Structure 1
Amino acid sequence: MLSPQLDVPPAAEQAATVRQRLEAQQRLQARTQPIARWRARILYPRWRAALIVALTVVALAVAIPQSRAAIAHVLRLDGVELHQAPGPSPAPHPSLPGEQRMSLGQARQRVAFPILVPTTLGQPTAVTVSDSGRVATLIYDRAPYGEVRLDEFDGHLDPVYFEKFVRVGSVTEVSVNGTKGLWVTGPQEIVYVRSDGMIVQASARLTTGNTLIWGTRRVALRLEGGFSKTAALAVAASAG
């Protein structure tokens, strides 16, 4: 039996107090539970999983030499791709698909793009057309820089491209007649890729000099020879 001196609030006041406390607790839980659920269900597992995957990839890339070799920097310009990755040793000068030797006049009739001829090099020693008229090649055997090869291909209407694996050397961005170009020093492995995307392994060859790559609105060009960057830029400027 309760003491008559104990001050007990009325039943209505007790119910109101309890209800207020319950409502306050519910409001606090409503504010904190979404954050807790987000941290528990989204933040922690996803970050843990991403971190584990990232660390696994890095560990594999560092531990396996083949993985380190496969991490390659890629530069793209007018359908020409440069991959800084190793590759098999190709034959020195294999033919491109469907390559046919002809005169410069005949070549200009066979292709759908203008064939540019550098004035500093004069008339080419040999001219070939490949890949159903999509690629024209000018070869100079008696140039001041030794043997010089100029590959020109349709880089706008029906693009084809070379995939170049830079094995030894470096790549530098240059300006050719006001447009962006690439200067590549050292031997490079070149693999021709047809317009339908098929890689022609038989066309792989190893360059013997330096390479300048640039393009116009209609043609992408790749100049190869034993010249310096300054000389190569002068040759390119004379091609228009």
Structure 2
Amino acid sequence: MADLESELRDLAAWLETPEAPDVTARVRARLATPVRRRRRWRWWLAAALAALLVALLPPGRAAIADAVTGLLRFSGIVIDTGSAPPAPTGVPSPLPAQRPATLAEAQRHLRFPIRVPVELGDPEQVLVADPDGAGAYRVVTLLYRGGALRLDAFDGHLDPVFHKQIGGPGVEWVEVDGDFAVWIGGPHELAYVDRTGTVRVETARLAAATLIWEDAGVSYRLEGDLTRDEAIRTAASLD
């Protein structure tokens, strides 16, 4: 081992090694010029964080558009914009186990608070529907103007509740109290998706213009002869 070390030392004396480069100027230039590159890294980081945030949001808070299938998922609603809706046939049946109730009675059987829009006042009729095994209802409906105007509130922000089929344009993103909402400006077919995930086609009917939004973990749909601005104002007046 001592002989090998001695030979290596002798060999080193024959090697010509270049002078160490002066990297000071190069480092200073690198620090002075890559502002754009650092910003690019920040942009990629922001994009990655945004993608992660969307992935972590529950379906009720994130809107997911699928350009291939034409499905738009928002706040417990599945909107199918891929094809024109067929004309509903027959008389639509009520929602599962639907029955009338007073406001006070309905509130006792719901897991979320009933909020009445100040713009409309007290409802003319109240309906509850789709109870679970413990007797808690999933949907409450407030009816106005002889039933021509209705406000559905449902505990369904994590699962699809209503299935809509809309042909062509007509779905518009709007805001209710600074949060996202969906405005559907014309008639469309509406079917109910129950708490088991089954689409109940027998409940399909031709729905009028509709505003869909979510507030405090409860999803709402306001349907009737209202303009977009009237619907937004009514939604914002929930008390």
Counterpart check, 1:79 vs 2:76 = yes
Q: How many residues align?
A: 165
CA distance in 1, matches of 2:141, 2:175: 23
State the 1:203 CA deviation.
Answer: 1.0
Q: Is the 8 A contact 2:85 2:188 kept in 1?
A: no
CA gap of 1:168–1:121, structure 2 versus 1, over 3 A, is: farther
CA distance in 1, matches of 2:116, 2:160: 20
The share of aligned pairs that are identical, in percent, is: 38
Residues 131-210 of structure 1 correspond to what in structure 2 (within 5 A)? 131-132=130-131, 133-141=137-145, 147-156=148-157, 159-167=159-167, 170-207=170-207, 209-210=208-209
Q: Is the 8 A contact 1:153 1:220 kept in 2?
A: yes
Alignment root-mean-square deviation, CA: 1.9
CA distance in 2, matches of 1:93, 1:120: 28
CA gap of 1:105–1:168, structure 2 versus 1, over 3 A, is: farther
Q: Is the 8 A contact 1:189 1:204 kept in 2?
A: yes
Structure 2 residue runs without a partner (length 5+): 1-67, 132-136
| Match of residue 120 from structure 1 | 119
State the 1:93 CA deviation.
Answer: 4.6
CA distance in 2, matches of 1:160, 1:113: 17
Amino acid aligned to 1:139: L
Structure 1 residue runs without a partner (length 5+): 1-70
State the 1:191 CA deviation.
Answer: 0.7
Q: Secondary structure at the match of 2:84?
A: coil
The structure where helix makes up a greater share of residues is 1
| Match of residue 107 from structure 2 | 108
CA distance in 2, matches of 1:92, 1:141: 20
Deviations 1:18-50 (A, max 9, x none): xxxxxxxxxxxxxxxxxxxxxxxxxxxxxxxxx
| Greater Cα radius of gyration, structure 1 or 2 | 1
Q: Is the 8 A contact 2:138 2:156 kept in 1?
A: no
State the 1:169 CA deviation.
Answer: 5.3
State the 1:177 CA deviation.
Answer: 1.1
Amino acid aligned to 2:127: T
State the 1:96 CA deviation.
Answer: 0.6
Q: TM-score normalized by structure 2? A: 0.64
